[in-house]
Amino acid sequence: MGSLVLLLVVTLAAILLANARETRRRSAEMLREYVEEYSLRPGPEGFVAPPPGGTRPPFDARVFELSTFYAVALAEDGSVLAVDTGMKDVYSAEELTALARDVRDRASGRVGTLLFQTAQKDGYTLVAFLDNTVTDSGMQTLLRQILIVGAAAIVVLSVVSVELSKRIIRPLEENDRRQKQFISDASHELKTPVSVIDANAELLSRELGENEWLANIRYESERMGELVRQLLDLSRAENAETPTEPVDFSRVLAGEALAFESLAFEKGRTIVSDIEEDIRIQGSGAQLTQLASVLLDNAVRHATGAEIALSLRRQAHSAVLCVSNEGDEIPPEQLAHLFDRFYRVDEARGGEGHYGLGLSIAKAVAEKHGGSVAVESREGRVVFTVTLPIKI
pLDDT in tens, 172-193: 777 777 776 776 667 677 777 8
CA angle at 32 for the pair 27 and 36, rounded to the nearest 5°:
150
pLDDT score for 165: 77
- Which phi-psi region, left, alpha or beta, contains residue 176 (left: φ > 0; alpha: ψ -120 to 50)? alpha
Q: How many Cβ atoms sit within 10 Å of the Cβ of residue 122? A: 6
pLDDT score for 53: 44
Query: Among 278, 280, 279, 283, which residue's Cα sits nearest to residue 245?
Result: 283
pLDDT score for 346: 61
Q: Is the dihedral of CA 301, 302, 307, 311 positive or negative?
A: negative
Query: Is the domain covering 243-389 a CATH 3.30.565.10 domain?
Result: yes
Residue 232 to residues 70, 173, 298, Cα–Cα distance (Å): 86, 21, 19
User: Where do the structural domains in the chain lie, given as residue ranges?
Assistant: 2-131, 139-235, 243-389
pLDDT in tens, 25-79: 888 888 888 888 787 765 554 444 554 444 444 445 666 666 788 888 888 888 8
pLDDT score for 2: 62
- How many Cα neighbours within 13 Å face the side chain of 279? 25
Number of H helices, E strands in the chain: 9, 14
The count of residues in the chain is: 392
Pairwise CA distance, residues 150 & 10, whole Å: 11
- How many Cα neighbours within 13 Å face the side chain of 257? 21
pLDDT score for 375: 92
Q: How many Cβ atoms sit within 10 Å of the Cβ of residue 98? A: 12
Pairwise CA distance, residues 227 & 372, whole Å: 25
Q: How many Cβ atoms sit within 10 Å of the Cβ of residue 134? A: 12
Model pTM?
0.53
Pairwise CA distance, residues 211 & 215, whole Å: 6
pLDDT score for 60: 55
CATH label, 139-235, candidates 3.40.50.300, 1.10.287.130, 3.40.605.10, 2.40.50.140: 1.10.287.130
Query: Among 372, 364, 371, 363, which residue's Cα sits nearest to residue 390?
Result: 371
Pairwise CA distance, residues 341 & 338, whole Å: 8
52, amino acid identity: P
Q: Are domains 139-235 and 243-389 of this chain identical in fold?
A: no
Q: Can you give the pLDDT of all 392 residues of the chain as single tens digits?
A: 566 667 767 777 787 788 778 778 888 888 888 888 787 765 554 444 554 444 444 445 666 666 788 888 888 888 888 888 877 777 888 888 888 888 888 888 888 888 898 988 887 888 889 888 777 777 778 778 878 877 887 788 778 877 887 787 878 777 777 776 776 667 677 777 878 888 888 888 888 787 888 888 887 888 787 777 777 777 777 676 777 889 999 999 999 999 999 989 998 999 999 999 999 999 889 889 989 999 999 999 888 889 999 999 999 889 999 999 998 888 888 888 888 877 776 654 444 556 678 888 889 899 988 999 999 998 889 999 999 998 75
Q: Where are the beta strands (DSSP E) in 219-295?
A: 245-248, 270-275, 280-283
Q: Roughly how many angstroms between the first and final C-alpha of the chain, as a whole number?
A: 34
Write out the H or E segment, with its range, that includes residue 373: strand 372-378
pLDDT score for 64: 67
